[in-house]
Amino acid sequence: MRPAVLVLDMIVDFTTGRYGTAAARGIRPAVARLLAGARRMKVPVLYCQEAHTPEDPELRVWGRHGMVGTPGAKTDPALRPKAGEPVIPKHTFGGFYGTDLEDLLRERQADAVVLTGVCTDICIQHTAADAFFRGYRILVPRDGTAALTPEDHERGLRYMARTYGAKITTTDDLIRRWSSSPRKARPRPRPRARMT
């Protein structure tokens, strides 16, 4: 298995900002530990986060949040990406829809995704669906994801396990697995050609 870690929507609006929750703040230590383990073991890390414009349909349901260019749309300071880790703006729940996430995963030769962040039953679950449809294996650390309520969190985990065959695990279990398995060197991603 060649996993990549996707950090979903750990933005200021959802941690300490306008729509911040204790649950989202509570998973920051586990997510930070997971990222440290991934970086140590050369597991690719990619960030997918909401970057809304006023036309986005999602705003009709959830109100204004993660608006492009606002402080609330920035990555939570405790979980900032390192140099070379892509930050992929998205305009809806799923990390693949209308983004170049699939191309970036292909460049990194990933065949599995570790989904961490918020919300378990919304953006995590929709990204899991997108990943499943594309043939990726899915791993979800229960202590590295959160929802608006504990019930929503558990319902999302059960749904992904039952519907997409997602492996529900923990951050510590993932780190142990990465540390104990021999890792093959991955080729460095080639610079992407720009259209002029």
**Residue-wise pLDDT tens digits, 31-41:** 999 999 999 99
Predicted confidence at residue 195, as pLDDT, reads: 41
Q: Which domains, ranges and CATH numbers included, belong to the chain?
A: 3-180 (3.40.50.850)
pLDDT score at 48:
95
Contacts of 117 (CB under 8 A, 6+ apart): 6, 7, 8, 9, 10, 27, 31, 123, 124, 144, 145
* Strand pairing category for 87-90 and 45-50: parallel
Average pLDDT along the chain: 89
What pLDDT shows up at residue 99? Answer: 95
Position 192 scores a pLDDT of 52
List, for residues 6-51, the tens digit of each pLDDT value: 999 999 988 988 888 999 999 999 999 999 999 999 999 999 998 7
- % of the chain residues with pLDDT over 90: 72
Predicted local distance difference test score (pLDDT) of residue 185: 45
Tokens at 150, concatenated: 């504990």
Q: Are 168 and 136 contacting, i.e. CB atoms less than 8 angstroms apart? A: no
pTM: 0.87
- Residue 117 is predicted with a pLDDT of 97
Q: Which long-range contacts (CB under 8 A, 24 or more apart) does 81-89 make?
A: 81/7, 81/45, 81/47, 82/39, 82/45, 85/44, 85/45, 85/46, 85/47, 86/46, 86/47, 87/47, 87/49, 88/46, 88/47, 88/48, 88/49, 89/49, 89/50, 89/51
Q: Which residues make Cβ contacts (< 8 Å) with residue 147, sequence separation at least 6?
A: 23, 118, 119, 120, 121, 122, 153, 156
Bridge partners of 8, per DSSP, are: 48, 117
Specify the range with the lowest mean pLDDT, choosing from 55-69, 73-87, 121-135.
55-69
3-class secondary structure, 58: helix
The radius of gyration of the chain's CA atoms, rounded to the nearest angstrom, is: 16
Q: Which pLDDT score is estimated for 182? A: 62
Residue 94: per-residue pLDDT: 93
Tokens read off for 196: 């002029």
What's the CA gap between 93 and 81, in Å, rounded? Answer: 20
Per-residue pLDDT, 183: 56
